[in-house]
Structure 1
């Protein structure tokens, strides 16, 4: 008995779901306002400023 070659192997097909079906399966709710997206990621304004400065510096590090 031989093993099929990797190029002969394909995973079984997945059922095709509509976007609505996928969202319903995850019990998602529509975003009703920007407040729904709010998160307290940083404990202070200073911590946010440090993060923004670091991000800016990293994005421009190899530009010069």
Structure 2
């Protein structure tokens, strides 16, 4: 806690006030270069499970469509 308070006094900014860019820099986060980076093999055990997920997602985003 003391380290955080000292850092806050030096920078004038707490973690709660840090910008998104600053937080990303601290964590080494970078923008994705391709949508392929978001895919993860084995996320769904089967095509049926994937289709069930997509149907549920579609329904949750369009509750007025039966």
TM-score (normalised: structure 1): 0.49
Between Structure 1 and Structure 2, whose CA radius of gyration is higher? 1
TM-score (normalised: structure 2): 0.48
